[in-house]
Structures are given as C-alpha cells and as structure tokens.
Amino acid sequence: MRAGLFFLIISSLALGSTVEYFSDRPRNFKSLLADPREGQLRVGCLYSDSNHSYLDLTMGGQLNLANFTFEDELLLNVAIKGLVASRFQYGSISFDLQNSDFIGGIVTSLGKKSQFIELYLSHQSSHHGDDVISQNPSLFRNFSFESIRFLYSKDLLTPLRVYGGTQWLLRADPESLLKKWRVILGAELTFSFLPDLFVASHANFKQENRWTPDLAFVVGYYLGETAKIQRKQRIFFELTHGYSVMGQFSEQKETSAFLGFGFTL
C-alpha cells in the first residue's frame, strides 16, 4: 500500500513538468560506492578468509524510461535497472563458477540538488555453477526473492554524503526469509585537496541474521576528468566482513579483501 501511495504521488507530480523519454542522463540518486550490488561494471580479485581467491565480475545497467523536471528544480526519474554478479574460483580445474546472482527491477527517484529518495522494486535469484553442483549436489538450494527498498540520501556538506533506508522481502524462497526486514546505512567522503580520492562505508543489517551487520569499507580513486564524464571509472580497494553477498552463500560468514576496477551507473 505504501508503494502504491508513493507511485500515486509521483504520478501527480509528473503533471505540469517537462519530460525526457529514454535519455542517457546519469542517475539522480547516485550509486552507493561501497555497495557491491551497485556497479555497472565491477571486476577484480577477491581473497577470502577461507584461503581461497576468486574473480568477481559484475555487469549491469540502467534504462531510463522517463525523466521529469519541474520549475523548482525538482527531478523525478523512472527507470529499469539490473545486473548479473558472478564469482569464479582461481586454482580450480576449470575456473569454476561458484555463484551467479541476477537482480533487476523498476526504480524511481525523486529530489533535488543535495537530497533524493529512491524506491526500488526488484527480483533476485541466485544459482550455483554446474561444476560446483556436479562435485557436491548437496550444496544446491533455492534462493530467490522479490523486495522493495526505500533509501534517502543527503549531501551534508560538499564532500560528505550520508544515506539510509530499509528493505522488505515481499516473497522469498526459502520461506524463512519471507517478510524479513533489512536496514541500510552508509556514508561517502571526498577530499578537497585530492577530489578524485574517496572513502566509503556501507552497512546492511538483516533481520534473518539477527541484525548482525554486513560491513563494507572502500578506498578508491576516480580516473580521468570526472567533471566531464557521466560514468565515473575508478580503481578501489574494498574490505568486507559479514554474511556473503552471494545468494547461494548468504548463510555463510566471510571476511574478504577485494582489489578491482569499476564504474558507476
């Protein structure tokens, strides 16, 4: 019902605005730099506390359906976005695919200048690679869900951004995840003396894990003239601690270090 009310408000606001369809504008609600599920391209080497090394590869995109602009500089965006995130194990017989997550849905954002809200209705499904299942069939588990996520983001000062919100699972397999809540908090900081350098943190508190936080900390550097490009390429180093972001391993805790390249939506 809340989601329906939100979309009703958006429909009402859209009246009397100027509109662009299928534009190539960047996202109004900026990507979360320390969320591994926010990259348009993310590739690099991950080393976990299980003494295994992996190649993590994420590819995604966003299709803007409509961008509305109002006289008071209020911006409204409606889009479809999604990604595929895969993990391959180094040192295995055939560079085994461990897991692939497929995430996609419809997203809308509303705000202006320094603050925005975003609502994302999405589906996620996760799958082991064939090599993993053939070697150990007992590992197989169904894992998928639909959820609605609400986030609020504000630039407190020019170099500091904070955000927070919640996610609710509308349908889930296994059913033990059904109607579970998640709380999301994060912050991002750039530096006036070196504007291409950034640090970011992201925390996801999940009800199914008794609110134990999944933590990510990132230090990165933007490449190229970021003021002139829409999609910001970056190199970054990331530390994570908590339950795995990979759906098939989401019941397992891991601590990992990741070094890679990416660019944002």
Q: Would the pLDDT of 166 be above 80?
A: yes
Q: Percent of the chain beyond pLDDT 90? A: 60
Q: How many domains does the chain have?
A: 1
Q: Which of 48, 63, 27 is nearest to 99 (CA)?
A: 48
* Cα three-residue angle 119-124-128, rounded to 5 degrees: 160
Phi, then psi, of 6 in degrees rounded to 5:
-60, -45
Question: pLDDT digit string (tens) for 35-78?
Answer: 988 878 999 999 998 888 999 999 998 999 999 998 888 999 99
The rounded mean pLDDT for the chain is 88
CATH code: domain of residue 246: 2.40.160.40
pLDDT of residue 10: 58
Burial class (CB in 10 A: 0-12, 13-18, 19+), 57: middle
Tokens of 17: 């605005």
Residue range of the domain that includes 46: 2-264
Q: What single-letter DSSP state applies at residue 4?
A: H
Query: Average pLDDT for residues 101-119, to the nearest whole number?
Result: 95
pLDDT band (50, 70, 90) for residue 131: low
Q: Enter the pTM of the model.
A: 0.88
| Token pair 């504008």: residue | 25
pLDDT of residue 242: 96
Spatial distance between the Cα atoms of 52 and 256, rounded to a whole number of angstroms: 10
Q: Would the pLDDT of 12 be above 60?
A: no
Spatial distance between the Cα atoms of 37 and 48, rounded to a whole number of angstroms: 18
Burial class (CB in 10 A: 0-12, 13-18, 19+), 27: buried
pLDDT band (50, 70, 90) for residue 134: low
Tokens of 202: 């992201």
Of 172 and 1, more confident: 172
pLDDT of residue 187: 97
Question: pLDDT digit string (tens) for 16-36?
Answer: 678 999 988 878 898 899 998
Question: pLDDT digit string (tens) for 204-261?
Answer: 999 999 999 999 999 999 987 766 666 678 999 999 999 999 988 899 999 999 999 9
